């Protein structure tokens, strides 16, 4: 069982942690974990800072419903492009610098949201702010660098899930901040001022990323990259190659002064999955090599399948984040603030739901290796699809709708966790590219589902029914075809039949 609140942090022979101390900011592992999810959460807050106040803004400026839906689409479309570039950037510059840069860049248009004057400016501004969604890639990349393969699913689920919670936090705090400011100044000024808050928070967290953490257990990414290049230049002396690599690990560990114990020193076995491994990421690729690697990754069947799965989970989440407040406002005649507070439940469930998906994947992996992770994916996607279909028939009474929303949101987000519990094993040497492409796939799903909600034009029942059917179809068919490091779900049936 994964230790979440261990008294002491243990690491494997590569310096990666094999347990958690969630109550600690211990350097470097736990500090990186907490800054990763916090950075993604504040990025998500800025990314989705406008939807909780959309009814107020659209009424004030006379923005049509079509323009509102178009702004939802553009906010997601920008992230697709950004995530494709951010993955290779993480491999070149490290996750910490990329994360901080995205937060700084995205904070500027967020602060300028108060200058919106028409539907066109709303669409343009939300497109620029959409690059904040790319923070997901360095968030997951950072966690993968710090935690061992045996718990990487849980680590990615914690950082991604608690980061995604930013959508719920936004629906919770933005109306509250607006209401507080509106008691002192006119409403038309209050909504313009409120966006300075998430912008300032993004800049503060970006500074924490740069100055309070590091990229890997062995130190700064760029420093390690330069050391690796120097070692390659000196590799002519073959006899010293092995000794120098050992020295690097020793020096790196001493330099970081990590207060952890190697698992072998404490009598614990090294938790290695003999059938699934995570190799070190390539740091010294040329631009041409990165392009070739990108195309190679994009053509992998496992990557294409996981793109569809992430589109049905994170893409669904993005689309619902944009409309969940409107669903309760229009279907049950609630005021905007009340509808936003109810809608915040959807995002806030990320505090446990995505984490549960990664934990469930790690749990089955200990018993069935990678086949267990694939089985976890199948189970969770089937529940997600079933509850989405159920929600489409539950919009008659408020309490039924809230209960079904809680159920489907848990499994939508759990599938996000189980998906990225598989991702690090697909192509470990090109991990940044894989994460960027599959992450972009999630946003592509959000783009498609946002368009679908627009085309249904308020027919939320049919939209959720379609979401459920699509999820069930891609879940069952995709898992049947999914193969990662020569493992597939069909091997479970073969092994049981031989027994």
* Three-state secondary-structure class, residue 1: coil
What's the pLDDT at 278? 53
Q: Rounded to whole angstroms, how far apart are CA atoms 375 and 169?
A: 32
Q: Residue 211: CA atoms inside 13 Å, Cβ hemisphere, count?
A: 6
Q: Does some domain include residue 372?
A: yes
- Enter the tokens of residue 373: 């992770």
| Section 299-323 average pLDDT | 94
Q: Give the total residue count for the chain.
A: 499
Is the predicted pLDDT of residue 269 greater than 50, yes or no? no
Q: How confident is the model at residue 1 (pLDDT cuts 50, 70, 90)?
A: low
CB 177 within 8 A of CB 53: no
Distance from C-alpha of 162 to C-alpha of 353, rounded to nearest angstrom:
9
Radius of gyration, alpha carbons of the chain: 23
Give the list of residues 6+ apart from residue 288 with CB closer than 8 angstroms, or none.
Answer: none
Q: CB neighbours of 318 closer than 8 A, spacing ≥ 6?
A: 76, 442, 443, 445, 446, 449, 450
In a domain, 16, yes or no: no
Token output for 402: 């809230």
Mean pLDDT of 316-326: 89
Residue 484: predicted pLDDT: 93
Q: Give the rounded distance of the alpha carbon of 253 from its chain centre.
A: 29
Span 289-303, mean pLDDT?
90
**Exposed, middle or buried by CB within 10 Å (0-12, 13-18, 19+), for 384?**
buried
What mean pLDDT comes out for the span 102-114? 96
Sign (positive/negative) of CA torsion 440, 446, 450, 451? positive
Residue 350 lies in a domain: yes
What average pLDDT does range 252-277 have in this prediction? 42
Average pLDDT score, the chain: 87
Examine residue 223 and state whether it is found in any structural domain, yes or no: no
207-259 confidence digits (pLDDT tens): 999 999 999 999 999 998 888 777 777 775 555 445 444 444 444 444 444 44
| Contact by Cβ (8 Å): 164, 37 | no
48 CB neighbour count, 10 Å cutoff: 27
Instruction: Tell which residue, 284, 281, 293, has the closest CA to residue 232.
Output: 284
DSSP H/E element including 183 = none
Instruction: Please state the rounded mean pLDDT for residues 115-128.
Output: 94
Range of the domain at 154: 27-218+293-498
Q: Would you state the pLDDT for residue 435?
A: 92
Angle, in degrees to the nearest 10, between helices 460-481 and 431-456: 150
Q: Residue 17 in 3-state DSSP?
A: strand
- In angstroms, rounded to a whole number, what is the distance separating the alpha carbons of residues 333 and 326? 10
Give all strands (DSSP E) within 98-223, no chain letters: none
User: How many domains are contained in the chain?
Assistant: 1
| 300 inside domain | yes
d(CA 499, CA 497): 5
54 in a structural domain: yes
491 located within any domain: yes
The token pair at 305 is 């399948």
Q: What is the pLDDT of residues 334-383, one digit of tens each?
A: 888 888 889 889 988 988 999 899 999 999 999 998 999 999 999 999 99
Mean pLDDT on 49-54? 91
Provide the whole-model pTM. 0.80
Q: Which residue has the higher pLDDT, 473 or 243?
A: 473
Tokens of 413: 């987000």
Q: Is the pLDDT of residue 305 over 80?
A: yes
In angstroms, the CA 248 to CA 254 distance is 10
Residue 409 scores a pLDDT above 50: yes
Pairing state of beta strands 10-11 and 261-262? Answer: parallel
Residue-level pLDDT at 227: 84
User: Distance (Å, rounded) from C-alpha 43 to C-alpha 49?
Assistant: 10
pLDDT at residue 171, as a whole number: 86
pLDDT for 274 equals: 37
pLDDT mean over 94-116: 96
Considering only 219-223, 275-279, 368-372, 396-400, which range has the smallest mean pLDDT? 275-279
268: pLDDT strictly greater than 50: no
CB 144 within 8 A of CB 160: no
Distance of CA 220 to the CA centre of its chain: 23
395 secondary structure, DSSP code: -
The whole-angstrom separation of Cα 492 and Cα 483 is 13
Residue with tokens 């689920």: 157
Residue 349 belongs to a domain: yes
Q: For residue 336, what pLDDT is reported?
A: 82
List, for residues 146-183, the tens digit of each pLDDT value: 999 889 989 999 999 999 888 889 988 999 999 999 99
Q: Is the dihedral of CA 52, 53, 59, 64 positive or negative?
A: negative
pLDDT at 118: 93
Other C-beta atoms closer than 10 Å to the C-beta of 204 total 12
What are the start-end ranges of the H helices in 94-135?
A: 95-111, 119-129
Q: What are phi and psi of 183, to 5 degrees?
A: -75, -15
The DSSP symbol for 8 reads S
Q: What is the CATH number of the domain that holds 69?
A: 1.20.1250.20
């Amino acid at each position: 069982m994964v230790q979440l609140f261990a008294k002491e942090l243990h690491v494997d022979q590569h310096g990666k942690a094999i347990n958690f101390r969630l109550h600690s900011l211990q350097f470097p592992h736990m500090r990186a974990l907490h800054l990763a999810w916090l950075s993604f959460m504040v990025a998500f807050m800025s990314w989705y800072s406008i939807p909780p106040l959309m009814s107020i803004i659209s009424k004030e400026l006379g923005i049509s419903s079509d323009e509102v839906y178009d702004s939802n689409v553009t906010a997601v479309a920008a992230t697709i492009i950004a995530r494709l570039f951010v993955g290779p950037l993480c491999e070149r510059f490290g996750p910490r610098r990329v994360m901080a840069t995205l937060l700084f860049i995205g904070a500027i248009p967020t602060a300028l949201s108060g200058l919106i004057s028409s539907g066109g400016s709303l669409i343009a501004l939300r497109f620029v702010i959409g690059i904040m969604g790319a923070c997901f890639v360095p968030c997951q990349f950072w966690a993968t660098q710090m935690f061992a393969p045996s718990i990487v699913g849980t680590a990615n689920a914690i950082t991604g899930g608690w980061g995604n919670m930013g959508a719920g936090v936004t629906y919770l705090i933005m109306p509250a901040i607006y209401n507080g400011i509106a008691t002192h100044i006119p409403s038309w000024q209050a909504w313009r001022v409120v966006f300075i808050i998430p912008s300032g928070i993004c800049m503060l967290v970006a500074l924490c990323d740069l100055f309070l953490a590091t990229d890997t257990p062995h130190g700064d990414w760029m420093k390690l990259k330069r050391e690796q290049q120097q070692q390659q230049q000196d590799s002519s002396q073959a006899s010293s190659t092995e000794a120098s690599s050992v020295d690097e690990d020793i020096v790196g560990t001493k330099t970081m002064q990590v207060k952890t114990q190697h698992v072998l020193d404490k009598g614990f076995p090294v938790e290695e999955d003999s059938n699934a491994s995570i190799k070190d990421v390539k740091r010294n690729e040329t631009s041409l090599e990165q392009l070739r690697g990108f195309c190679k990754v994009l053509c992998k069947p496992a990557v294409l399948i996981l793109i569809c799965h992430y589109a049905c989970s994170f893409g669904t989440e993005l689309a619902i984040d944009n409309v969940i407040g409107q669903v309760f406002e229009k279907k049950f005649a609630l005021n905007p603030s009340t509808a936003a507070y109810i809608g915040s439940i959807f995002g806030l469930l990320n505090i446990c739901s995505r984490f549960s998906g990664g934990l469930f994947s790690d749990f089955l992996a200990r018993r069935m290796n990678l086949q267990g992770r694939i089985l976890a994916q199948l189970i969770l996607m089937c529940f997600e699809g079933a509850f989405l279909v159920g929600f489409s028939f539950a919009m008659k009474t408020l309490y039924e709708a809230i209960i079904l929303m809680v159920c489907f949101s848990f499994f939508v987000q759990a599938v996000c966790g189980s998906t990225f519990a598989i991702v690090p094993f697909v192509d470990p040497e090109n991990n940044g590219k894989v994460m960027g492409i599959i992450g972009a796939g999630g946003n592509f799903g959000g783009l498609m589902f946002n368009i679908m909600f627009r085309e249904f034009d308020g027919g939320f029942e049919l939209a959720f029914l379609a979401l459920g059917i699509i999820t069930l179809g891609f879940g069952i068919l995709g898992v049947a075809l999914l193969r990662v490091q020569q493992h597939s779900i069909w091997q479970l049936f073969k092994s049981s039949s031989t027994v």
